[in-house]
Structure 1
């Protein structure tokens, strides 16, 4: 057995060592460990084992991190003359790595990476049956180290212990650890896997706590090339080998972007995008892009002048003239990849929408320019990496904006944002989430109704005809037919101009052999179950007894088929009646006499109030219910007439707010009918009729509205 001796070693700091050793150089665990693994490669190791304390056992004061390799190891002389010369350029001295490998190290400072992990670093190296052990104190080195100054270090040389894991090798153990938090073992696997080429990992096993280095499992939606790597010329005589792909999900930061490897080891740490991430089309895709570029030509020299890589192997000197062709190629590659991915995702989003029968049909109904722009917007959603489950609802919002012309100001805003898919997605999400289109539609409905009310007022004061006498003529009947809510906001108008016989037949109450072809103007329901038969006359018409008796006959006839039928007579202020006759009709409980002025005041007050409520709470109504009305209102206001064609009259009355139903049990069926009174009606005002022919008509009466 050989003799164990103590020996004084000397560590020499040369040249620009302290500059290379910047205090932050090896602050990160993965960067420090990568340097120590690279040293193992340069020592010819085929296996390197990293021992990391687990989270539950981690204590910076006593925990140890170690890196052990099966490389050639060092003799005591090599330790003194080579390892402990900091800043030594082994390439300049012509020293090659074993096994024909390219040397990764160059500056001679990577051996001190352990000081990024711990305050002390114990080095045990063995070869030829003998081992050498030294311990370096980082603080002492920083305090006493100087340019070309040699520090004395006490070491031990002995026979190699029988429990060492390999015939030869080196173990570097870091103690008095600097990091307060325990290491992330999975994160170290990811980081180290990206810092070494497949060639290196194929020739040298790297283990962390006895588990072989785990390559990141990337679920890629796109990859170029589909398998393996591609080699390309840069135009300056140099070549690179690369691959890139896009993950289906957002990548951890360490896996994003390119890592540039030189001689098998990181030279440009990820995430790196050749500085185009802020300007490239589809730049949001950088969160999904991962790739590797091998550019060995960047480290093919031996002198300092040819050195284009930072000391800590984190960054390439992109200002160096020899890197310009590489940088231009990388910028073009990155832009192209991001642009192609954005286009592919945009097309996928469009396909998702077109596969939805409802949305596809609505797109087809748009005019050609609007359809193309809507598709462009939908593609922008896909380009912005919109979650698949959100494509359909956001596309629905986009199509809505094109379907209704009053939203084209939104389209202009969206068009301005569409060049930036992320900004565009946010804009559409806000419009969808805040229900801006629905809110805007409801407000348009109310604004439109108020304008119709004003048109209604103009027709009243200008004595518009009751019905049309020629095509295109404005008239009260057609205006009310289009907008039945004008009669009363709380009524639901069921039908118009139907004969007594036809109405009773519909109710199943017609008398055999009896036919009555007189027609009411409108039939409506109230929420309390009353059926209202409405007779209208133009405001200049002096209502006479025959007019009122006709309405009375309508009420009596329709009462055969429905319970609680009442009449409403609407005209101007003039009645061709005696004062007593007028008073008796005013006292009737089942017939209400109204002026057009009363009707107008009631509906105007209602919608002014309704608009105020809408602006505070838009959740009480539906958007689709008013879509037809918005378009119809624009046509009426633009044309200046509410005239309806015969086909439009056959289609029935226009949209309205209430949806009452007739009582299911009819008097004709023998059962009792629904009845009730309007408890919310206003108190009566006393009439003061004047002599014929112009008795005044009072306001609403008790039991009426």
Structure 2
């Protein structure tokens, strides 16, 4: 048994280990990079709720190497000679501080190291404790020779290797965490595994290090540097548009001369670049010697362009970074942009990104209709409307649809009615734009004959706009009818919901009741839950709340509308006596409290009683039934029984001719049907 002395002045363990990595993937990547630099051909990562283990079959370290290489924090990393006939690997690490990444994962880690030439079961073992190391500038640990514990028995055959077991972990490992680590590690390395003979496994599953999951979701790619078309095509088999950057020749030349190669691409939707936990890959990374050197090279050039949520890129800059002196910032967050060469790289990549955004805008507009839901794209009415547009109108339509499609691309689901409403509203705007253009042309034209021709066209357009406004009104009313149908079909719909919908759309009950409840001066004409006390004498009062009361020019007195929910059970299951008693109380209370009604016979106050569609004459098998005599008495009492199903039937019948004309005129697309 011997000791190993670590020199850790100035809180190096905290600054260079604990505080450098705020999440698990980058810390793990540092430890994997150490294994790669040690010429490992296989690295196994094992995750559990109480430990993280990284096992490799690299060169390992003997006691002297542990003292000279491992225990000296921050020394320049020495290149290792290849083993097992492997080609030379350019080291991923430079400063020898990656080992401290283990302390961002847990408070204690144990090392098992076996160097080449050691006896079969001869492993060196020592344990580092974060709290103890940070308590002193010098830290001694005991190194013992041991056999591997049972948990590592599958690796006993290694002739050399290095194992780091981290305990007292700082973050809980969930299935979502595993999935995120898997994807993040794949992106943090770019290694041609067939050429380098290097495998990385997470809980037994091998990771693909030469491609990422989002590769098959890339639609448009711009590439630059010394990449060949065949090489980029093999990477993106499903890419729709591919082109080499050449817009600014001196920038294209810069990448070739600097031996910097890469690509920037766009996806169809932002979610194509997101993990299950919402983490986004929508950025451009820099890779050096197979490992990520900057997670977001254009972070200092951020902008609010929507396109940035769709953009991803990978840049390989091995030679470029190797020539820089200390290129990584002290925070390990990426390349140091205060270095002139790095600043130049950022400026040139920003220009390429601008080009990608311009092309993205063009492509999106050209294909704006393709981004709509399939039910709209295949709607015959919509395709007929599109076919009637001029080229200029098509361009404007595509531009507006493109702005809207960005919202469709969001992860938040949009109601189908809201989507339909937006599409038809855009159609209305297109027709309005035509009228505005005609007016502008009329004012600029001096020739009288030309003015007359424009005037005739303008009058035609105004007539068309009147039809269009009428069509929009029909659309709104159809939407209200469809909503009432949905409320009827839902057994859980409360009475209050029916009351609000009929209050907002009183024309459903009577087509002439066009009260606009959004206009303050109109609110007195229609009231909800109007309250009246009925004085029964002897200090006895009955409280009455009218569901809806409406005052219209066609009727001399206020109209009472009482309604029940569409489900004929509980309070909503009424009979003749219940209706008669309730309405009598309402009428008498109104007469007592409204002076102009004092001399009115109570049957002069019209009542509409809205009931479930499960209502009919006795013997028909409905839950709510009336005899012929009861129905006659209600009619005589000026009480109309109205079923929800009849409201729907009458409303649809009323607008049938309007709809037929609208479809034939093709003023705006009819998205209420698939035919």
The interval holding the TM-score normalised by the smaller chain is 0.5 to 0.7
The alpha-carbon distance between structure 1 residues 266 and 278, as it changes in their structure 2 partners (threshold 3 A), is same
The alpha-carbon distance between structure 1 residues 124 and 367, as it changes in their structure 2 partners (threshold 3 A), is closer
SS where residue 233 of structure 2 aligns?
coil
1:27 to 19, 22, 26: 22
Alpha-carbon deviations, 1:285-315, whole Å to 9, x = none?
33333332111134314xxx71111356431
2:283 to 236, 257, 261: 257
| Counterparts of 1:234 and 1:623, CA distance in 2 | 67
| Counterparts of 1:394 and 1:45, CA distance in 2 | 58
The equivalent of 1:210 in structure 2 is: 204
Q: Does 1:323 align with 2:346?
A: no
The equivalent of 2:159 in structure 1 is: 167
Q: Does 1:278 align with 2:274?
A: no
Q: Does 1:8 align with 2:6?
A: no
The alpha-carbon distance between structure 1 residues 41 and 17, as it changes in their structure 2 partners (threshold 3 A), is same
| Counterparts of 1:233 and 1:197, CA distance in 2 | 24
1:81 to 55, 63, 68: 68
Deviation at 1:438, TM superposition (A): 7.6
Checking the alignment, whether the CA contact within 8 Å between 2:47 and 2:173 is kept in structure 1 is no
Alpha-carbon deviations, 1:576-604, whole Å to 9, x = none?
xxxxxxxxxxxxxxxxxxxxxxxxxxxxx
| Counterparts of 1:405 and 1:345, CA distance in 2 | 22
Deviation at 1:243, TM superposition (A): 3.1
Alpha-carbon deviations, 1:195-252, whole Å to 9, x = none?
0013368531000111101554333251434334989652694121223433344121
Checking the alignment, whether the CA contact within 8 Å between 2:217 and 2:268 is kept in structure 1 is yes
1:358 to 381, 392, 395: 381
Checking the alignment, whether the CA contact within 8 Å between 1:401 and 1:408 is kept in structure 2 is no
| Counterparts of 1:101 and 1:66, CA distance in 2 | 24
The alpha-carbon distance between structure 1 residues 83 and 354, as it changes in their structure 2 partners (threshold 3 A), is closer
TM-score (normalised: structure 1): 0.50
Structure with greater Cα Rg: 1
Pick which of 372-381 and 223-232 moved more: 223-232
The equivalent of 1:198 in structure 2 is: 191
| Counterparts of 1:136 and 1:386, CA distance in 2 | 49
How many residues end up aligned between the 2 structures?
Answer: 410
Q: Does 1:374 align with 2:397?
A: yes
Q: Does 1:399 align with 2:430?
A: no
Q: Does 1:126 align with 2:114?
A: yes
Deviation at 1:369, TM superposition (A): 5.5
The equivalent of 1:100 in structure 2 is: 88
Q: Does 1:49 align with 2:49?
A: no
The alpha-carbon distance between structure 1 residues 241 and 97, as it changes in their structure 2 partners (threshold 3 A), is farther
| Counterparts of 1:131 and 1:47, CA distance in 2 | 18
Checking the alignment, whether the CA contact within 8 Å between 2:59 and 2:160 is kept in structure 1 is yes
| Counterparts of 1:176 and 1:28, CA distance in 2 | 16
| Counterparts of 2:433 and 2:313, CA distance in 1 | 46
SS where residue 175 of structure 1 aligns?
strand
| Counterparts of 2:203 and 2:334, CA distance in 1 | 29
Alpha-carbon deviations, 1:48-74, whole Å to 9, x = none?
101111xxxx2xxxx221100000111
Alpha-carbon deviations, 1:441-468, whole Å to 9, x = none?
58999xxxxxxxxxxxxxxxxxxxxxxx
The alpha-carbon distance between structure 1 residues 375 and 299, as it changes in their structure 2 partners (threshold 3 A), is closer
| Counterparts of 1:374 and 1:623, CA distance in 2 | 29
Matches within 5 A, 1:164-313: 164-180=156-172, 182=174, 184-199=177-192, 203-214=197-208, 216-218=212-214, 219-224=216-221, 225-228=232-235, 233-234=253-254, 237-249=257-269, 250=271, 251-252=273-274, 253-270=279-296, 273=298, 275-279=300-304, 283-301=305-323, 306-311=325-330, 313=332
Pick which of 126-135 and 366-375 moved more: 366-375
TM-score (normalised: structure 2): 0.53
Deviation at 1:102, TM superposition (A): 0.5
The equivalent of 1:455 in structure 2 is: none
Checking the alignment, whether the CA contact within 8 Å between 2:396 and 2:430 is kept in structure 1 is no
Query: When you count helix as a share of all residues, which structure comes out higher?
Result: 2
Alpha-carbon deviations, 1:659-696, whole Å to 9, x = none?
xxxxxxxxxxxxxxxxxxxxxxxxxxxxxxxxxxxxxx
1:140 to 125, 132, 136: 132
| Counterparts of 2:109 and 2:326, CA distance in 1 | 28
The alpha-carbon distance between structure 1 residues 312 and 233, as it changes in their structure 2 partners (threshold 3 A), is farther
The alpha-carbon distance between structure 1 residues 265 and 16, as it changes in their structure 2 partners (threshold 3 A), is farther
Deviation at 1:269, TM superposition (A): 1.5
Alpha-carbon deviations, 1:458-508, whole Å to 9, x = none?
xxxxxxxxxxxxxxxxxxxxxxxxxxxxxxx97xxxxxxxxxxxxxxxxxx
The alpha-carbon distance between structure 1 residues 405 and 316, as it changes in their structure 2 partners (threshold 3 A), is closer
Matches within 5 A, 1:103-114: 103-114=91-102
SS where residue 294 of structure 2 aligns?
strand
The alpha-carbon distance between structure 1 residues 308 and 619, as it changes in their structure 2 partners (threshold 3 A), is farther
